[in-house]
């Protein structure tokens, strides 16, 4: 269950002669005394910075407002239903905090929502078709706010996006509909770029082309339930609207054959003047997705690179094809890793007797540890992580990190069965093997 009382708070402020919904002061800042009185006072920095860096215009931000109002006009429950918006309306609306016009802001609204989360087996007995949670991701970059300033033109999307799409074994091309958190127009623009609908800096021309409105190349926020220009976006409400989209219960604005919906949320203004450091990605669908044996990561690689040489390059080529290769003796079939002579036929020439062969990719935990310290900055967001020795069913010992929801509890918890999970890094051109516990 969830509830929002933004409208009520704004009405309370009005009684004291103020406008808008008051916000609490952030740690390490003194903004209120100097005029930082509402969310638009600092969120408008994001739009201003994007304009300065990439040349984005107010009319391009207005195209987002126009597109979302067009979706709202297809929703009888929307507060602005039947009140279409033009770019001229946007440009002539009052400027509240330059570069934001009134119609760049969401409405303040009261509302409540409830949904039931249960198991797939129980959901089968419900009178209505269930909507499945295919993937859930969370990105948090508060530590970067101390020295990294790109959060004024980017959002904490990459980790959340890759987690959700990796769990669902889906790509952006599989998404039929998006419900973006859209408190201001720039946040919509950032997400379009950060998710990959267009390149960073090209969001302005992209939305100006009409790509996100009805009939456009993507279906963005067609729920549009309460927008003056854009929707008052609370995450619980998005989950409900996304679920109805997946159930195909959205009337005139229903997207044909809608099977997968991406819904997002963001926030986390922990330190001012640093901006939102938290982002969430949720993928909902009409059909349950079986657990995949691969993960696709588009996040820039910030860890040590794998050491690929002439002795193991075929192994890494195999990983790209989602095959876990080992050295195998042609004479007796014994398997080895890494490169080694067969102990039973060590007098045989290596090239004539040993060959690469595909293994099952299955085995059991031989030993493991849990890292609580990041010895390299690239691992700081993964602490604690489990690094394990895996005894393959074919015999050799290999090592890797364990992933998934099931992890061993203590160092005596060995012997559990595991299988390989391939982690693809297309931008860097390599694949890494992880392992997960299986029943």
**Amino acid 41: pLDDT:** 83
Q: How far apart are CA 202 and CA 198, in angstroms?
A: 6
Taking 80 as the threshold, does the pLDDT of residue 223 lie above it? no
Q: Burial code of 129-156, b = ≥16 C-beta within 10 A, e = fewer?
A: ebbbbbbebebbbbeebeeeeebbbbbb
Q: How far apart are CA 22 and CA 313, in angstroms?
A: 59
Confidence of residue 27 (pLDDT cuts 50, 70, 90): low
Structural contact between residues 383 and 429, judged by C-beta atoms closer than 8 angstroms? no
Q: Where in the chain is the domain with CATH 2.40.50?
A: 313-324+359-437
User: Which CATH architecture describes the domain 313-324+359-437?
Assistant: Beta Barrel (2.40)
- Span 282-301, pLDDT tens digits: 999 987 765 567 777 777 88
**Amino acid 163: pLDDT:** 82
Q: Which of 273-287, 300-314, 398-412 has the highest mean pLDDT?
A: 300-314
Q: Where in the chain is the domain with CATH 3.40.47.10?
A: 24-292
- CA 244-67-280 angle, 5° bins: 50
Task: Look at 12 and 172; give whichever has higher pLDDT.
Answer: 172
Structural contact between residues 229 and 85, judged by C-beta atoms closer than 8 angstroms? yes
Q: Strand, coil or helix: what is 238?
A: helix
Task: Look at 173 and 249; give whichever has higher pLDDT.
Answer: 173
Work out the percent of the chain whose per-residue pLDDT is above 70: 81
Q: Burial code of 381-397, b = ≥16 C-beta within 10 A, e = fewer?
A: eeeebbebebbbebebe
Confidence of residue 240 (pLDDT cuts 50, 70, 90): very low
CATH 3.40.47.10 fits 24-292, yes or no: yes
Mean pLDDT estimate for the chain: 82
**Amino acid 143: pLDDT:** 66
DSSP string, 288-310: PPPPPSEEE--SPP-SPPP---T
Taking 50 as the threshold, does the pLDDT of residue 83 lie above it? yes
Taking 70 as the threshold, does the pLDDT of residue 42 lie above it? yes
Q: What is the largest CA-CA distance in the chain?
A: 92
Confidence of residue 227 (pLDDT cuts 50, 70, 90): very low
**Amino acid 201: pLDDT:** 96
Eight-class DSSP state of 402:
B
């Amino acid at each position: 269950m969830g509830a929002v009382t933004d409208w009520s708070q704004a009405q309370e402020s009005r009684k004291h002669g103020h406008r808008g919904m008051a916000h609490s002061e952030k740690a390490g800042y003194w903004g209120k005394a100097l005029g930082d009185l509402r969310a638009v006072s600092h969120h408008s920095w994001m739009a201003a910075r994007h304009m300065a860096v990439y040349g984005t215009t107010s009319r391009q931000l207005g195209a987002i407002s126009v597109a979302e109002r067009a979706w709202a006009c297809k929703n009888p429950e929307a507060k602005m239903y039947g009140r279409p918006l033009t770019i001229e309306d946007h440009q002539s609306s009052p400027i509240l905090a330059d570069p934001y016009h009134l119609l760049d802001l969401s409405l303040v609204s009261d509302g409540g929502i409830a949904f039931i989360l249960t198991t797939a087996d129980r959901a089968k007995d419900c009178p209505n078709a269930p909507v499945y949670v295919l993937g859930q991701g969370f990105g948090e970059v508060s530590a970067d706010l101390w020295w990294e300033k790109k959060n004024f033109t980017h959002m904490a999307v990459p980790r959340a996006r890759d987690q959700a799409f990796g769990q669902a074994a889906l790509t952006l091309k599989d998404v039929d509909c998006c419900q973006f958190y859209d408190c201001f127009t720039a946040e919509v623009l950032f997400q379009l770029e950060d998710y990959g609908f267009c390149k960073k800096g090209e969001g302005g021309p992209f939305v100006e082309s009409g790509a996100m409105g009805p009939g456009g190349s993507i279906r963005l926020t067609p729920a549009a339930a309460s927008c003056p220009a854009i929707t008052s976006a609370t995450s619980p409400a998005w989950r409900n609207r996304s679920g109805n989209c997946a159930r195909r219960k959205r009337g005139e604005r229903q997207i044909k054959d809608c099977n997968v919906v991406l819904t997002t949320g963001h926030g986390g203004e922990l330190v001012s003047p640093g901006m939102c450091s938290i982002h969430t990605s949720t993928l909902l669908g009409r059909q349950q997705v079986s657990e995949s044996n691969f993960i696709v990561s588009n996040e820039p690689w910030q860890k040590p690179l794998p050491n690929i040489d002439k002795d193991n390059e075929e192994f890494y080529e195999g990983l790209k094809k989602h095959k876990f290769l080992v050295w195998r003796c042609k004479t007796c079939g014994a398997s080895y890793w890494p490169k080694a002579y067969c102990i039973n036929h060590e007098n045989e020439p290596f090239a004539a007797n040993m060959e690469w062969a595909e293994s099952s990719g299955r085995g059991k935990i031989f030993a493991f540890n849990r890292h609580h310290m990041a010895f390299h900055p690239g691992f700081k967001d993964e602490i604690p992580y489990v690094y394990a020795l895996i005894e393959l069913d074919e015999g050799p010992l290999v090592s890797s990190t364990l992933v998934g929801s099931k992890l061993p509890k203590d160092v005596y918890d060995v012997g559990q069965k595991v299988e390989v999970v391939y982690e693809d890094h297309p931008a860097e051109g390599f694949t890494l093997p992880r392992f997960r516990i299986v029943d």
